[in-house]
Each structure stands twice: as C-alpha cells, then as structure tokens.
Amino acid sequence: MRQSKNKFLLLKGTYEYSSKKKKFVFPLLDGDSITSKKLRHIVDPTYDSTFKLLFGMRGAEERLKALLNAFLYPGIIQKEIQSLTYIQNAMHRLNEKNNNNSLITDIACQIMVDDQKYVVAIEMQLSDRGTLSKRLFNYGTTLRYNNSFTNCLALGISVSSKVESNYTKLQKKTYSHIEDLEYLKTILINVDIELKRMEAGENIQINQQNLEEDGKEFIKLLGIRNWGTKCDNNRFALPEWDISENSVINECINILSEISDTKLSRMILDEQYFEDIKTENYNAGMDEGINKGLIIAAFLIFLEEKEDEKAFQILKSNNVQVKEDEEIKKILKGKKNSDVNDFIEYLNNYNFFLNSS
C-alpha cells in the first residue's frame, strides 16, 4: 500500500538504508520517519534550464500559474489567476556567450487577475550579489514599457542571499524616492531564510499574506540543495513514491526525476555558461542593463507625472550617468522625438551626462 502523501514539508534530506527491512529510512522534522523500497533521484530545479523546463515553456502554464498563485496571492481566492500567456523573452542561446541577443529575465508572462492584465517578470538565481532588486526593477519597467501595460509585477527568487523575503514595493534604500510607484511591485523570496523559518514552525509572509502549504512546498522544492542529500549522480534523493498532496509539486518532482543523464550533463554545462555570463555582467557592474530600467522609469515619470524632482531622485540615488544623447534615443526608441529631446535636455540640465561639469 502506498504511504501517506503529506510528508514533503517534514522530509529531511538525510536517509539510511535498513538492511533488516531492506528499505531506505527518511527521518522527518517531527521526529517520525518514512520508509521506501527505492530512491527517486531528482535534478536541482534551480538551474536555469530546469527552472524554465518546469515553469517557463509552452505546456508549463498551469505549473507557473500554481507557483504565482502560491507566492503572489496566498489565501486570496478572489485574486486567483484567470489566464496566463508567455511573453517572448530574448536571451543568450546556451553556450554562445557572445551572441547579440539580450539576456532579460528568466521568465516573462502576462496574467489576468480580476479582469485586469499584469505583466510579470520572474528571476530565479542561486545568490544575490546586491543587484537582484535593481535587475527586477529593470526587467519589470522594461516589460511594462515595451508592452504598454499599466500594471507590472516582478518576482525574484533567490536560493541563498542576504536579502530578506518580503513584499518590497521598492522600499529598498536606493529606491526610497519611488516607493509609491504603483505600476511596479517587486517581491523577493529568500529560499534559504524561509526554509529555516519553516523548520522553526514560524509563519512565512510573502506579499503581505501568510504563505499557505502550497507556497511552502514550492519553497521546499526550490531549496532542495539547502536541505537534500546530493548523490554521486548530481541528483538529490527522495522516496520513490509521491510525497505531496499537491499534484503540481508531484508533477514537478516527476519531471525532475525523468531527466536523462545526458540531458543533465548538458544542463550542468549550460548552467556554467549562464554563471559565467552573470559573473561577467556583475563584474562590469551591470550598469548598462540596470541604467536602462532606471532611465525608462525616470522618463515615464517625467511624462506621466510631470514631476522633475521624482525623476531626478530615481537617477541620482542610483548614481545613473549616461554617455551621450544617442544612448537615450536608443533606450527610448519609438517615443515621440519631442518628448525624448525634452528628457535629454532635462538630463543635461541636471548633469546626468558623463561630460557634464
């Protein structure tokens, strides 16, 4: 008989083989244990390739809806996502670091909630070097700008970082002057911290709501490298049978367990290339990409709210500087020339060009 399915949140990564019972024994956080005749080995879901396989490609819409519902609208039935479609998201081709495509966010999609459209930028990363919130701001602002959406969300999931999980709404120090920017809300989730809170029996608050069991299970799955036992085959060991009452979690585990060794080797190689790209960008300060989002935000406020002071603070508090007029014209391509020229004059007046005195 198959054992109970509700053990995933209590499962520890350690296990032992009982020669007497001829079974693998997994301890649980509550002091109990579960047994399994065989092991199921799953691939790390936080690789760029595996994360997109689970949530970012055609056919994965329902899994992504479940993830977003769990994190963005926990316990709010009336806020459930009605529909979801992916937005084309240019990125580097794997293993081609020097190609000309832009590396944007891991996943971009449009959702319908309460008959309102939102554009969502989603970024999954293993660590935060202090740029995650800025990059989310850049992704969200750029997507809003390119797709003419009024409402925009940016969700950042970090497996291990110094950033506290919260509903930031840009309330970081560097963004203190645009915390009321209603068209972009940023949510950061630190998986490592939340796993420790879960083990301590504490509530987890994301998006100003207590996370429910399905949200906790997504955190548990995405954080398996923090609690699971990694085996010689670069996979993590779980019991052979379904261990969750959440069908989406079990579906994700099944997908991760069916990845072939050949495909896994390719994913690990691809992940190294991705990390090289991100490291290069980080070492360069990621100024170009970050500045683009900040400049777009300042331009939109300059036009929409006619507030020079607020636009000034966005750029000044983040030390944004531009090289020449053409940089602004390229970023704001498609906007009215008169508006762009007014904005360039504004930047000149406030010494945002590198050659300004």
Q: Which tens digits make up the pLDDT trace of 128-175?
A: 666 677 777 777 776 666 666 667 777 888 876 655 555 443 333 333
**Which SS3 state, helix, strand or coil, does residue 336 take?**
coil
Q: Are residues 168 and 292 in the same domain?
A: no
Domain membership flag for residue 8:
no
Q: Are residues 262 and 295 in the same domain?
A: no
Q: Are residues 210 and 291 in the same domain?
A: no
Q: Are residues 270 and 292 in the same domain?
A: no
Identity of residue 119: V
Q: Are residues 264 and 293 in the same domain?
A: no
**Which SS3 state, helix, strand or coil, does residue 322 take?**
strand
Q: Are residues 212 and 295 in the same domain?
A: no
Least confident of 48-52, 63-67, 90-94, 217-221: 90-94
Q: Write the CA distances from 50 to 131, 172, 209, 233, integer angstroms.
A: 23, 30, 28, 16
Q: Are residues 206 and 326 in the same domain?
A: no
User: For residue 23, what are its two tokens?
Assistant: 């079974």
For residues 247 and 282, the model is more confident at 247
Q: Are residues 160 and 186 in the same domain?
A: yes
Domain that includes residue 308, residue range: 287-349
pLDDT in tens, 273-297: 666 555 555 444 445 556 676 787 7
How many domains does one find in the chain? Answer: 2
| Distance from C-alpha of 156 to C-alpha of 123, rounded to nearest angstrom | 5
Domain membership flag for residue 42:
no
Contact 303, 342 (CB under 8 A): no
Q: Are residues 300 and 163 in the same domain?
A: no
| Distance from C-alpha of 264 to C-alpha of 253, rounded to nearest angstrom | 15
- The angle that helices 48-55 and 261-283 make with each other, rounded to 10 degrees, is 110
Identity of residue 212: E
Q: Are residues 193 and 322 in the same domain?
A: no
Q: Are residues 296 and 220 in the same domain?
A: no
Domain membership flag for residue 135:
yes
User: Which among 67-81, 96-110, 189-203, 311-325 has the top mean pLDDT?
Assistant: 189-203
